[in-house]
Each structure stands twice: as C-alpha cells, then as structure tokens.
C-alpha cells in the first residue's frame, strides 16, 4: 500500500513493478470514488485515465518532460501523483484545489485549460520553443477522442505533422465518449481501428491453434479483409508515427509503447483505448454523460445527495421544455448543440425529435455558422451554448449571424457565476462580447414564465439574432400548466416603486432581493432590466433625469458590461451619471467555489446588495 497523502512527487513510480502499479491503480480508484462522492467533480474521465497517468509518470520525467492535459478535467490522478492527495477534501472548493490544471498549484502543472482542444496547439509552441531552449525534454499532450473533434486540434495536427524534426508525443485517450457518446466521422474511424485491433488479437490467438494448411487459407482471407480495413490510419496520413491502439489499462502494453514513442524520430501518436468510468459500476455503464461531472453522491446507490424538490428544475430544463412545445407548433424548427446535449437538458428533445437536433461535437464555431445556414434557409433554429463557450464562436456570431441579421436564437446557458468549475467556466463575459454587435438582442429572464414570454418574442416577433441568457442554478415551474402564449415586449419592468433610490438589474436575484428590500422597509424602486440590449431608453431617461441614487447590478464582468452601457448612454445623451453605483465582477478571473461564496466575496449576494443600498441612501 502506498500512502497516497504522503506522495511528494512521481519519482517513487520508477521502482514499482507491474503488480505494485496495479495495486496503486486500485487504491487511486477507491480514493477518487470516495472523495468525489463528497466534493463532486469529474468522476468518469479520471477513473478511466488511472493506469495511463501512472504509466506516463513512470516513463517520462515530469516536470522536465512536459505533460499537457487537454481540458484538464481528467488531471486528478496527476494531482495525486504530484503531491496533492492530502488536499483533495478541498477539491473545487473556495480557495481549495482547482478541478483543472493550475500552474500555481504545482511545478508539474505545465499548461492550464478548461476549454477543450487546446493541448496540441500549446504543445506546438512548447515543442518549437526548443529552437531557443535546447532539445532536452519531451512534450506530451494528452487529448481525448472528444477533444480531438475540436477544430483547433485539427489545425495543430495539420501543422505538427509537417515538421518531422520535432517529436511531440501525442497521447490519444480514446474512451469512445465525449461527455455523451462521441459524434462524427472521426468516431467512426476510431471504431474501425478498434475493431481491427480486436480482429488482429482474435486472429493471433486462433492462428496459434490452427493446423498449417488452414493458416495459409487464413492469410488469403486476411488479404481480402485488408481491402476493407485500411492499414493506414488518419495519423499516418497526417505525417505522424502511429502506435496502437493499445490497452490503456494494461501496464505492460502502456509502458512498452510509451518507451517506443520516447525514442521515435518523428512526431507520433500513441492511441490508447480506455474505459470511461472504469471501476465504478454506475459510471461504467453511463452512455449519456451523467457521471462525467457529478455532484456529491451516495457510493452504494449512486443517488445524488441533494434530493430533487417538486417543481424545481434546472434552467436548462426549463428552456428545453419550451423547445419541445415550440417544435410541436412549428415543424420548421431545429436545435444545433455543440457537445453539451445532457448539460443543456436536451436528451428528451432528442428522444422525441431525433431528426430535428444535431450534436456537432466540441465545435462551437461550427454550431453557430451551421445555425446561420438553417436561419438563412428560413428554418427557426435554437443554439444552446454555455456562456463561457460562446467565447470560442465570437467571430461566427458577429460575422455569420449578426452581420447577416439572421434569426438564430442563442441559449446562453450557465450565464453568471457557475461555481466549482471556476475561472475557465464562469459565464461572465458574454454580455461584453455580444452587446456591441449590431442587430443582436440580449435578454435575461428572472423566472420561467418570463423566459417563455421572452422566447415567444424571440421566435415569433423578433426577426434577427437573439441571445437569451439563463443561469446554472434551478428555478421553479409547474410543467403541468400550459406554456403562456404571451409575448414580452423589449422593455424593462418596474417590479417595485420607491422614491429614495433605484435599483436596476436582471436575473434570478430580483425576486429574493425585492422580498428582502420590502422586509427591510427600504423605499427603493426595483427595475427588471430583462432586456440588456436594447436598453429601455424611455424608462432609462426618466431614471437618469432624477437625482436619487441608482444602483446597477450585474452578475457579470463590469468592464464593457450592462452598467457600462448605461454610463455610455448617459454620456451620449448629456444625462448625469454621478449618482450611479455599479455592482458587478471586477477585472480579474473569478476562481472556483460555491456560487453563494463567490457572490458574497464580491459583494453581489442579496445581503451585500442591501448593505450597498443602505450606504448610498
């Protein structure tokens, strides 16, 4: 037994034999299941990569050799082997261990990510830096078959294959899954390679048992089969040496092929087959991605620790409920989703309307431009993209959708603070990113009914691009009631009148804030700025002409955000802005932690807002 919490660095692996490595794998799996059941986190990806991570640290010398984990959500085993097991109780918690690679945590953390498909391009830069730094180390990007579907990964493959004098070692961790099952032609190619490997193994075994005359016959049959199953792989064609596919849970194979790759004199790919979720019965059989990222759960039953309450649903579910309703009314309606089928709560829609939804993989740019193609053909289209991932598709939203003024309805999911995923995933930059685009309308409903009225506006009245933002949390709605046919106009709403100050904000904070302001007896007007763009100029002009204090609130980056747009408006229209206080997130990346903690830390929770209001009165 290794005392996981006393591991300082991976050097101890060098002397372990196969049996000891296998025992260590089992120990790490049990550790992961135990801790993740308490903290939540990326369970399946980490259970699948245990042996591969151990083998990489055994064969290579980190941090001299550079291990670059794509996305970084599968780096827990790496964290354990590099001295961080003792901190696992703080995983993804405020001021605790990050759920991704974090350079400030360890010298073994070489390159940070969170968004997918960056590792090969980063590896290209690190590899090519050898021109200046000398050639004493290996550069080893580790990329999943899901992440490989991202366009940037292909761009880097195209580049790297052309430089035989550079020898990055690409580890392809192929578990046949992205978050859900992998999509596209690449997945088919990998399936072909996999079945060819099985065919070879079966053949090798049966040849041993065959009499001589049958062996000759068998190789004739094989020549025929080879006509169907090409010997070349995609990677050979791209200019790489290809090793594999190899069994990613077998140390003998892993160590043998990683050592071969170490000596290769060309860029190479080691194709490793792993089983996502290996070692925990519920995650092993998961085909929809439920165990990819999980909240705390009971190990024995697999049940989440939080019990579902009646009529409380995730915002994604609230929105997908509308999509099913809208599809019933409008056969010319389609959904295009980049990789987040389950996260966007679209499994039910897919089951009912399999031909009216495309999962395009980790391809946000493609999803947006494809949606513009639907829109230009006169088909209504909904494109759900997490706020953080729309960053990838800025040019496509600008150039392909807004410039042509096309009616694409974007579902900006996970808008605002997302919590435990931290810096790379906070949904706080989409407003600055989208609001300056001509033709774009941006809305953020405060509750489900408002969301439905807003979607009615987006689909039935509005003619151009629309971005409806919704949060990571949950809200209540009774699905047995019919969806309203009311249409919201792009105007703000006064939720509460008051004469000593005006609060302008949007989203789910409004209702609890209204309750608390009323309870506190504060004479404050509350305006729901449900349309972030266009501004409700009539109401805004009135508010800006008054002399009372104005508090503008956004759970989003302050720079270039909603508050900024009001300051711009005031300046452009010669109206006073000196009475305005802006509340929002500062010019820094927002770390991980619970949403409540992070809001409190940045004075954006209800209590802190009330305190700000009291201070300005």
Ligand X SMILES: Cc1ncc(C[n+]2csc(CCOP(=O)(O)OP(=O)(O)O)c2C)c(N)n1
Cβ neighbours around 216 below 10 Å, total? 10
Instruction: Say whether 276 is catalytic.
Output: yes
Instruction: Say whether 588 is catalytic.
Output: no
Cβ neighbours around 19 below 10 Å, total? 9
DSSP-based three-state secondary structure for 410: strand
x-marked contacts with ligand X along 354-373 as a string, rule CB under 6 A? --------x-x---------
Query: Is 339 one of the binding residues for ligand X (CB under 6 A)?
Result: yes
The single residue of 276, 317, 407, 435 carrying the catalytic annotation is 276
Question: How many residues are present in the chain?
Answer: 617
Q: Is-contact 82 62, C-beta < 8 A?
A: yes
CA distances from 543 to 169, 407, 528, 539, 565 (A): 61, 32, 13, 6, 15
3-state secondary structure 163-196: CCCCCCEEEEEECCECCCECCCHHHHHHHHHHHH
Instruction: Say whether 392 is catalytic.
Output: yes
The single residue of 51, 112, 253, 364 carrying the catalytic annotation is 364
Query: Is 389 one of the binding residues for ligand X (CB under 6 A)?
Result: yes
Query: Is 273 one of the binding residues for ligand X (CB under 6 A)?
Result: no
As measured in angstroms, the least distance from the Cβ of 220 to ligand X is: 38
Query: Is 421 one of the binding residues for ligand X (CB under 6 A)?
Result: no
Q: Which is nearer to ligand X, 181 or 250 (CB)?
A: 181
Which of 102-110, 175-183, 439-447, 606-614 is the region at the interface with ligand X (rule: CB under 6 A)?
A: 175-183
Q: What angle, 0 to 180 degrees and rounded to 10, lies between the N-to-C axes of helices 562-572 and 537-545?
A: 70
Query: Is 408 one of the binding residues for ligand X (CB under 6 A)?
Result: no
Bridge partners of 334, per DSSP, are: 381
Among 37, 82, 106, 175, binds ligand X (CB under 6 A): 175
Can you tell me the distance from the alpha carbon of 398 to that of 204, in angstroms, rounded to the nearest whole number?
55
CA distances from 73 to 49, 69, 81, 361 (A): 11, 8, 15, 17
x-marked contacts with ligand X along 60-79 as a string, rule CB under 6 A? -----------x-xx-----
Q: Which is nearer to ligand X, 193 or 458 (CB)?
A: 193
As measured in angstroms, the least distance from the Cβ of 294 to ligand X is: 13
Which of 28-36, 174-182, 562-570, 574-582 is the region at the interface with ligand X (rule: CB under 6 A)?
A: 174-182
Element (H, E) at 29: helix 18-39
Q: Which is nearer to ligand X, 271 or 276 (CB)?
A: 276
Can you tell me the distance from the alpha carbon of 254 to that of 54, in angstroms, rounded to the nearest whole number?
10
Residues in binding contact with ligand X, number by CB under 6 A:
21
Q: What angle, 0 to 180 degrees and rounded to 10, lies between the N-to-C axes of helices 50-59 and 18-39?
A: 130
Among 10, 99, 141, 146, binds ligand X (CB under 6 A): 146
Q: Which is nearer to ligand X, 370 or 532 (CB)?
A: 370
Per CB under 6 A, contacts with ligand X among 106-145 are 115-116, 144-145
Binding interface with ligand X (CB under 6 A): 45, 71, 73-74, 115-116, 144-147, 173, 175, 177-179, 276, 339, 362, 364, 389, 392
Catalytic positions, written as ranges: 276, 364, 392
């Amino acid at each position: 037994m290794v005392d996981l919490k006393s591991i300082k660095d991976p050097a101890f692996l060098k002397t372990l034999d196969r049996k000891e490595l296998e025992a260590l794998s089992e120990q790490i799996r049990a550790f992961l299941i135990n801790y993740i059941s308490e903290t939540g986190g990326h369970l399946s990806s980490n259970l699948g990569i245990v042996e591969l991570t151990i083998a990489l640290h055994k064969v290579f010398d980190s941090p001299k050799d550079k291990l670059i984990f794509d996305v970084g959500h599968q780096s827990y085993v790496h964290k354990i082997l590099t001295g961080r097991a003792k901190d696992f109780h703080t995983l993804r918690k405020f001021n605790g261990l990050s759920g991704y690679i974090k350079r400030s945590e360890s010298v073994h953390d070489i390159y940070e990510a969170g968004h997918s498909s960056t590792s090969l391009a980063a590896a290209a830069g690190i590899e090519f830096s050898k021109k200046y730094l000398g050639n004493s180390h290996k550069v080893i990007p580790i990329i999943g078959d899901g992440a490989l579907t991202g366009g940037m990964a292909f761009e880097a493959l195209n580049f790297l294959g052309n430089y035989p004098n550079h020898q990055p070692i690409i580890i392809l961790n192929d578990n046949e899954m992205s978050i859900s099952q992998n999509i596209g032609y690449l997945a088919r190619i990998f399936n072909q390679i996999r079945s060819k490997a099985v065919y070879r193994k079966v053949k090798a075994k049966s040849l041993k048992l065959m009499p001589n005359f049958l062996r000759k016959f068998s190789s004739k049959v094989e020549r025929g089969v080879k006509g169907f199953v090409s010997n070349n792989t995609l990677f050979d064609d791209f200019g790489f040496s290809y090793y594999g596919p190899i069994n990613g849970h077998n140390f003998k194979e892993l160590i043998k092929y990683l050592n071969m790759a170490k000596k290769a004199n060309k860029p190479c790919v080691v194709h490793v087959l792993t089983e996502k979720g290996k070692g925990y019965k519920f995650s092993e059989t998961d085909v929809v991605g439920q165990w990819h990222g999980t909240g705390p759960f009971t190990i024995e039953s697999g049940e989440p620790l939080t019990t579902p309450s009646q009529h409380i649903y995730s915002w994604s579910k609230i929105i997908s409920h509308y999509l099913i309703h809208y599809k019933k009314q409008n056969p010319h309606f389609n959904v295009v989703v980049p990789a987040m089928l389950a996260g966007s709560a679209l499994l039910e829609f897919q089951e009912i309307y399999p031909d009216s939804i495309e999962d395009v993989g980790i391809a946000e740019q493609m999803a947006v431009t494809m949606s513009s193609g639907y829109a230009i053909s006169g088909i209504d289209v909904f494109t759900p993209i997490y706020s953080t991932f729309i960053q990838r598709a800025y040019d496509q939203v600008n150039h392909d959708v807004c410039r042509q003024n096309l009616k694409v309805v974007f579902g900006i999911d996970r808008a605002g603070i997302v919590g435990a995923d931290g810096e790379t995933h906070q949904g706080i930059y989409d407003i600055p990113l989208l609001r300056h685009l001509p033709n774009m309308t941006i809305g953020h409903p405060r509750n489900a009914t408002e969301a439905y009225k807003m979607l009615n506006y987006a689909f039935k009245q509005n003619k151009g691009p629309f971005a409806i933002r919704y949060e990571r949390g949950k809200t209540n709605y009774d699905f047995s009631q019919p969806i309203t046919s009311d249409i919201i106009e792009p105007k703000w709403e006064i939720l509460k009148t008051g004469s000593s100050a005006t609060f302008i904000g949007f989203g789910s904070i409004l209702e609890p804030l209204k309750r608390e302001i009323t309870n506190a007896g504060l004479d404050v007007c509350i305006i729901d700025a449900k349309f972030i763009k266009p501004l409700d100029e009539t109401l805004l002009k009135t508010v800006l002409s008054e002399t009372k204090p104005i508090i503008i609130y956004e759970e989003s980056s302050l720079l270039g955000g909603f508050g900024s747009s009001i300051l711009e408006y005031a300046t452009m229209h010669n109206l006073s802005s000196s009475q305005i206080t802006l509340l929002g997130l500062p010019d820094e990346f927002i770390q991980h932690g619970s949403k409540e903690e992070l809001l409190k830390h940045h004075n954006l929770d209800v209590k802190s807002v009330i305190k700000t209001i009291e201070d300005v009165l």
